[in-house]
Chains A and B, each alone.
Chain A
Amino acid sequence: MDSHILSAVVTLNGKKYCLHREDMGLKVCSISEIQSHENYQFLNGTFPDPAKGESVFNLTFGPVASGLFESIKFNIRTYGERILSVTPEWDFKKRKIKISSEPNDRALLKIERINALYSASYSSLYCHLIEKMAETDPSYDVQLARIIMIEAERIGSHILVIQRLAEAASQNVAKHHLSALRERLLRTIAVTFGHRYFFGMNAVGGLARSVELEKFRDEIAAIAREFSDIWELIKVSRIFIDRIIGVGKTYREWYVGPTLRASGGNFDSRASGWLPYSDFGFSVVSGGSGDSFARAMVRAEEIMESARIIDEIISSKRQIIKEQNISNTAASGYAFDGVESPGGELIMGIELNGGRVYQPFIRSSSWCNLPAFTEGIRGGILTDFSFGLESHGLFACEMGDLL
């Protein structure tokens, strides 16, 4: 039952609240109630004890090593070939991002720098929360612009994940084609939105800059066609397929994003969220056996779906989306909500008092799916490690503290 899926545990004024996936409402919970959820230990940052036994030794990978996109360390327990357990240490680059007591417009600059690759998702959700408390409805055009940014970000992020999977499988030709394609996308975003990672684009109440979208639509369509061409070539490569099929197979109903959907789960917060995705016939991509290949397949299909959504939005007479910035700085209240970032559902909560931010809370997709990697890779062999890791698209920068 979805209603029993624990999405997050939020501490507010010293009290612990549960946030369940189905109703997305805060409920006061006892410790025993919280602990009854399988994923609580992971949300709390506790991973199972490392494997022990005769001849078992520790192999460390990271925090700075080739093959890692960011600084993170993994303690791999093995007796030489098989991975018996993996325990992550994400503290190395843990940033303490302080936004408490800051004016809400300044805090936005920090929020969009939690994860640059998901910046549009973070900033859109943050602005939505402030707007909710300020009882300010951004125009329909602004909501559509936010969808466009989040979907373009999804295309870029998914291409990066598949590119890194191809690299891990020594498919360097494919990797370079994908990397060049991602560069084309980043340049397209920069020309349209003024920044390759959408920094400074969102504002409370609207957008900070006007955008012209007609050329953007054509470029996104061309990028999607090119991706499809590349993907057709990758997915018939026996070397690629044989190396990632069956690797990192895992399923838990509390996973999020492509990790969940690649194992048959169909939760996608776009289907029921606050952004008007339903106006554009959004359909959830899901299905697969929960392995690295299935995750790549879901990402490939989501790229096409995101491109279709962007095309449909811009084709509906919205070539130009005008700048609006109606920041209400005097608002107060508490709000929380979620958005489907490229890695999966991102949840954020914020208290606003006199226009300043307090008690911020985030539960990122990387944090939620980190156990999917450590659980799924157990029993695999050492060479599976990078396929398992890359296929989840995890980012250590999302695992810091928001104070």
Chain B
Amino acid sequence: MRGWVRRGIEKGSLTTRFPGDKPETVSPWVSELARVAPGNADCPTDAITGDTVNRFRCISCGRCSPFFAPSGNLNLPDTKVKYALFKRSMKLYLIDTGSCGGCNSEVQQLWNPVYDLSRLGIFFTNTPRHADALLVVGVLTEGMEKPLLDAYNAIPEPKLVFAVGACAASGGILGRSISSLLECQIIVPGCPPDPFAIIDAIQKSRGVE
């Protein structure tokens, strides 16, 4: 017991100042991409048109190098609605419809002392009945269609659906997106999205800029 107390004191506070301050680090190839040289970039998901990168199709593979390079800026979410009702408290329910484990891992990292979502009044819940929003990760597999709809229907109104990561957002390179089954109000880019990008999207969905 004393050992844990000692460690806790020695480590001090690990918690990020984000969103009050800039993110300390952003996973380079998951950040916003910028053109740095002229030329035709080979994009396996056809996410590039001219100088523009469709961030929801981008799978962060880096194949567009050396024409594009990471800017280090967070990739911004697409937020179709904002529910100020969830400003003080928001409960999230995570569902994996066919991920590679990357998005699950990044969402789970949000509970750790570095990101500590609870400081922002954001919590994870173990049942959709208590949830305000559904966080969906992965491509949509056949077997997960019913569990996804069941979870969605169990969430009381008003509710939000987040498509977290390239697979859920656009199908990425592996399959189909969840938009073929459910309308998503918030789309978080990245493969997988940086934890800071997920926090940013959650904050924006409830009108916290």
Contacts and interface: CB of A to CB of B under 8 A. Distances in A.
Do A and B come together as binding partners?
A: yes
Contact of A95 (B25, B151, B175, B192): B175
Contacts of B96: 64, 70-71, 93
Could you say which interface size class chain B belongs to? 35 or more
B101 A93 contact: no
A397 B100 CA distance: 5
A117 B105 contact: yes
A194 B70 CA distance: 9
Given A113-B100, A200-B29, A93 B111 contact: no
Interface string B5-19: 001100100100000
Interface stretch (B55-63, B83-91, B201-209): B55-63
Interface stretch (B46-54, B137-145, B156-164): B137-145
B192 A179 contact: no
A190 B28 contact: yes
B99 A97 contact: no
Contacts of B147: 63-64, 71, 92
A397 B99 CA distance: 7
Nearest to B10: A229
Interface string A87-130: 00001111111000000001001100111110100000000000
B101 A395 contact: yes
A255 interface: no
Contacts of A177: 4, 7, 11
Contacts of A21: none
Contacts of B63: 109, 200, 208
A117 B102 contact: yes
B112 A173 contact: no
Contact of B109 (A66, A70, A119, A186): A186
Interface string A329-344: 0000000000000000
Interface string A202-236: 00000011000000000000000000011011000
Interface of A: 63-66, 69-71, 91-97, 106, 109-110, 113-117, 119, 160, 173-174, 176-177, 179-180, 182-183, 186-187, 190-191, 194-197, 199-200, 208-209, 229-230, 232-233, 395, 397
